[in-house]
Structure 1
Amino acid sequence: MGSNDSIAWGLTNAYASTFDFIRTKEPITHWPVHQEMIKVRKLLGGYDTVELNIPVSPWGPVVSTQEENLAMRWVLQLP
């Protein structure tokens, strides 16, 4: 399913508890932002490039909802 320079993972990763969501009280503007450019396929052909800005907390990337900010800590990101 995926790999990087250090590890590889497959579907068996989905059967274990490998990540936690941590509620954060700090606003998302408190953390540095990781920027990704993603190609999105158009319905009638071609691609658009979309900029995705992801706040990164000490625990991992931050997922925001209207009610709260959740940091996702993934076991494979730990040293």
Structure 2
Amino acid sequence: MPRTVVLDSVQAASLDRLIAAGRHGSPEEAIAAGVALLLRHEDHPATLQESWHEGVESGDYQPLDATLDAWEARYGAMEKANP
């Protein structure tokens, strides 16, 4: 379905640069790519949460606090060794 999109001057110039550089073949293609990235970005928290639940349910799970404590000890020791 055709749709009109209004861009400010900075957005229009950026779109023109993307097309001139060959990154996208048309304004429609560039806008479609941007919408796809936006959808992926908005889905990211849900995907992370699903992955976390799958990991917990797999049985190979260690609480985050223990992992963070181990990282802090490891990297703290590295910082002390290499000031």
Q: Which has the higher helix share?
A: 2
> Which protein has the larger Cα radius of gyration, Structure 1 or Structure 2?
2
Q: Which has the higher strand share?
A: 1
User: What is the TM-score normalised by the length of structure 1?
Assistant: 0.20
User: What is the TM-score normalised by the length of structure 2?
Assistant: 0.19
Higher relative contact order (CA 8 A, sep 6+): 1
